[in-house]
Structure 1
Amino acid sequence: MTAANRPPLPIDQAPPRPGRLILLVDASAAQRRLLARMLRRGGYEVIEAEGARQALQLCESRPPDLVLADWSMPDMTGPEFCAAFRRLPRSNYGYVVLLTSGADARTITEGIEAGADDFLTKPVAPQELLARMAAGERILRIEEELRASNTQLRQALAQLSETQAAMERDLREARKLQQGLVRARSGRFGGIEISLLLRPAGHIGGDLVGFFPIGEDRVGLYALDVSGHGVTAALLTAQLSVHLSGTSDQNIALRGALGPEDAGPAALACFFNTMMLEEMNTDTYFTMIYAELNHATGHVRMVQAGHPHPALQRADGTVTHLGQGGMPIGVFERPIFDEIDVTLAPGDRLLIASDGITEATTPNGRQLGNDGLEAVMRTNAFLNGHSFLESMAWSVSEYCRGERQDDMSAVLVEYRGTGQVIRLDDDR
């Protein structure tokens, strides 16, 4: 057949990338010329080597994309060449095809173990040669796309790491600011001592506790828990703290915005409920206990709005959980809140704890609950103030094996007017 009537060589549907380089390794000059002509017609750039060592030197100076090497070379076998080729430093993958006189199972196994990707049996048909090169092209394109994707992923991870580090710094500062919302961690009013615990589960949380003086013989104290966690909850607690701060021009309970003085703590819960529904465009709500304590008489008036039941521990060690629960703030237009009246006697203590304490859960799903809290109170009855709160926090963390998922907060009110220490009842 003459060159004029020879049919054109078939080209793979996906043409090779311009500049794709093939290294052709064969001791026979005639065989190299034949194969090189086929490959160049297929659109490849070809460099030639008559032996394995010359080929390896070319790979170091000009790394090829694909390699077509004879199994039998004067200075090295095909598998030996493959193993040496794989040891060369490369920035990308090199696809290796070995030319064999007959590829049996042993030959294929030996070549694959040495690093060969494909095999061609001599004599080589042009169509099969270009088809095998096209298959190698697809592998190389996939490898290049994966490498590009990995590069993009590394860049994205680096940017994400920088962003996360910046967020961590911001959250640490936000934690300091949020902790600063609790201006005083303890206070003494006559015979009454108040101690506070605020411990977010993460950097920032949605719990808030505090107290402020009202006149000469009364003090207001509060504990609230915003639904959810993170920035949204923290922002709402910050806004609520403004309304409960100690300055009379901002504190709702001090500036006369709740109506007559005898309106009681429930008026504050109603004010917040209206504010949440009418002024805030959010699905967030919160639970709260707000109490007004007469530190001269020990009388406490409080409102419970969905918050866990306050625990009253009398001087004899008995514990009573107060209240019926009430509804959360910011959910219903006409909520029902529970109003509680109780009088503390010397030696009594009142604990207002968040659900991060009562709902602390063991790894197998068992909650601490009111009974567990009562046990903690009895165990730590000989402690007072912050020592009691820290011991309680440690007990809760141990209960849930350090896997605490919610914020912990508490207000501890102790009537220590007579200097008595709460004691355990030996019969209990």
Structure 2
Amino acid sequence: MDAANRLSDSLSPLGPSFGPGRLVLLVDDSRAQRRMLSIQLQRAGYRVAEAESGRSALDFCARQEPDIILSDWMMPGMSGPEFCREFRALNRKSYGYFILLTSKTDKSDIAFGLESGADDFLTKPVAGAELLARLLAGERILQVEEKLRASNAQLQKTLDRLNMAQEAMERDLREARKLQQGLVRERSGRFDQFELSLLLRPAGHIGGDLVGFFPINQDRVGVYSIDVSGHGVTAALLTARLAAHLSGSMEQNVARRAAQTGLDAVPPMALAHFFNNMLLEEMQTDTYFTMVYADLDFRRGVLRAVQAGHPHPLVQRRDGQMELVGDGGMPVGVFAKPRFDEFEVALNPGDRLLIASDGITEAADPEGNLLGDEGLMEIAGGHHALHGHNFLDAMSFCVSQFSHGERHDDISAVLIEYREPVSGKARRDGGLLGDRGPAGRADDPG
């Protein structure tokens, strides 16, 4: 067997087994020194390999991974510290504990050895008891490293499973986003001289805001803006149920059921109480929502609405004057006997009413200052000449600039505009939806 690279497989039962099966590589140009240390290591239960130089030791380490290195400092060709630096540069699966054998005792030499990557030192001539004690210290380091490596491997497997689950959730959420966006079937509508424009942009994949409108009869249209608490899956599920209750279907729409018998539609206040009872009695959930629901008579230009904890609607008159309407009211689904606010607004040609969610009014700048009603009024005043989705897009851009692009809540809005007659003559075609604008306009969800 080549003495420059010899692996001794004969293990002696003599003495305590400090290193059950660990491989120790002896690196020394002195064959006698290697032989003496090899005998002690085998008796302690270690497997032993030998190399007569740093270069031959590196060749061995390229084929196998010794657990512990015992290397002489002074060797021809490549010193112990130089070998240690080369050893540390190897791509290993596990850590190798490196002990330098030296007669040097100067602090600067010890510092140089540590900087080269050595873990410990043994002073020559090596005493057997001290050798085993240093090896036992190395064993503890290797055991800790192995446990950490095993834990990291387990963590990596868990992380891989989580990443796979996250990717599946991301795919599901992307599909859920498409479905939720589909709840708002039409983003624009035209009813006689009134134009309705909707804005809906979730903060995440799915959100808790909902806006929409539906025809009540030949003269009236129902308009709603809802903000469910939170903007995750729970909020999205509730918005889906609310969307079904406010759909255009006569059978499903709770606001239109009374019209089936020729009676008037459910008043805004009654609709708020219906939803409040639904959340408290049927769903029994901690989730609640705020809402503005308006019954717009587009023939007379009169809007009758209920406000339930939602931000105040903003009326902007033709001459630019602005006012906030409504007294606030309580959120839906919190109190058994809530107080909701019902109000009425008369609109004239050139006037408009904006219903915005708190994702707009509570947008914050980097210092934590909120946009508020004053900021919203400033935006509306600065873009008085814009209409429909052009106005909503400009408003959304201004909110994004104010918050420096940081958006932590969904934003939604309904814009009701009483457009002035074309060529001085108001159109009265008598059709329910005969003059609607484009349906299904896709807002940028970002």
- Per the normalisation by structure 2, the TM-score is 0.87
**Match for residue 216 of structure 2 among 209, 214, 237:** 214
State how far apart, in whole Å, the 1-side matches of 2:84 and 2:247 are.
77
- CA 1:134–1:269: 2 relative to 1, 3 Å: same
**Match for residue 93 of structure 1 among 70, 92, 95:** 95
Q: Which residue of 1 aligns with 2:437?
A: none
Q: CA deviation at 1:419?
A: 4.4
State how far apart, in whole Å, the 1-side matches of 2:90 and 2:374 are.
70
Q: Deviations over 1:38-92 (max 9, x none)?
A: 2122111112233333333333333311111222234432223323333444322
Alignment check: 8 A CA contact 1:347 1:418 kept? no
Alignment check: 8 A CA contact 1:223 1:411 kept? yes
State how far apart, in whole Å, the 2-side matches of 1:356 and 1:154 are.
38
Alignment check: 8 A CA contact 2:257 2:266 kept? no
Alignment check: 8 A CA contact 2:15 2:43 kept? no
- CA 1:420–1:329: 2 relative to 1, 3 Å: farther
Q: CA deviation at 1:244?
A: 0.2
State how far apart, in whole Å, the 1-side matches of 2:90 and 2:264 are.
87
Q: What pairs with 1:318-397 in structure 2 (closer than 5 Å)? A: 318-397=321-400
- CA 1:119–1:345: 2 relative to 1, 3 Å: same
Q: Deviations over 1:12-39 (max 9, x none)?
A: 8xx42x3200112233333323222221
Q: What is the SS of the residue equivalent to 1:183?
A: coil
Alignment check: 8 A CA contact 1:310 1:353 kept? yes
Amino acid at match of 1:408: I
More off after superposition, 62-71 vs 207-216: 62-71
Alignment check: 8 A CA contact 2:228 2:239 kept? yes
More off after superposition, 165-174 vs 357-366: 165-174
Q: CA deviation at 1:331?
A: 0.3
Q: Which residue of 1 aligns with 2:295?
A: 292
Asked if 1:148 is matched to 2:154, the reply is no
State how far apart, in whole Å, the 2-side matches of 1:56 and 1:215 are.
89
**Match for residue 242 of structure 1 among 241, 244, 248:** 244
State how far apart, in whole Å, the 2-side matches of 1:71 and 1:122 are.
10
- CA 1:84–1:402: 2 relative to 1, 3 Å: closer
**Match for residue 62 of structure 2 among 60, 63, 68:** 60
Q: Which residue of 2 aligns with 1:203?
A: 205
State how far apart, in whole Å, the 2-side matches of 1:310 and 1:251 are.
24
Q: Which residue of 2 aligns with 1:5?
A: none
Q: What is the SS of the residue equivalent to 1:403?
A: coil
Q: What is the SS of the residue equivalent to 1:261?
A: coil
Asked if 1:278 is matched to 2:281, the reply is yes
State how far apart, in whole Å, the 1-side matches of 2:187 and 2:266 are.
28
Q: What is the SS of the residue equivalent to 1:350?
A: strand
Q: What pairs with 1:115-126 in structure 2 (closer than 5 Å)? A: 115-126=117-128
**Match for residue 106 of structure 1 among 96, 105, 108:** 108
**Match for residue 398 of structure 1 among 401, 409, 430:** 401
State how far apart, in whole Å, the 1-side matches of 2:252 and 2:210 are.
17
Identity of aligned residues (%): 62
Amino acid at match of 1:177: L
- CA 1:92–1:349: 2 relative to 1, 3 Å: same
State how far apart, in whole Å, the 2-side matches of 1:27 and 1:348 are.
98
Q: Deviations over 1:176-206 (max 9, x none)?
A: 1111101111111111111111111111110
- CA 1:410–1:258: 2 relative to 1, 3 Å: farther
- Per the normalisation by structure 1, the TM-score is 0.91
Q: Deviations over 1:365-417 (max 9, x none)?
A: 11111111111111111011111111111111111111121111111111114
Pick 1 or 2: higher relative contact order, CA cutoff 8 A, min separation 6. Answer: 2
Alignment check: 8 A CA contact 1:304 1:323 kept? yes
Q: How many equivalent pairs are there?
A: 411
State how far apart, in whole Å, the 2-side matches of 1:29 and 1:384 are.
94
Alignment check: 8 A CA contact 1:22 1:68 kept? yes
State how far apart, in whole Å, the 1-side matches of 2:112 and 2:199 are.
71
Amino acid at match of 1:293: L
Amino acid at match of 1:300: L
- CA 1:320–1:35: 2 relative to 1, 3 Å: same
Q: What is the SS of the residue equivalent to 1:80?
A: helix
- CA 1:364–1:52: 2 relative to 1, 3 Å: closer
State how far apart, in whole Å, the 2-side matches of 1:313 and 1:230 are.
33
Q: What is the SS of the residue equivalent to 1:276?
A: helix
Alignment check: 8 A CA contact 2:255 2:266 kept? no
Q: Which residue of 2 aligns with 1:187?
A: 189
| Structure 2 unaligned regions, length at least 5 | 1-12, 425-446
Alignment check: 8 A CA contact 1:347 1:420 kept? no
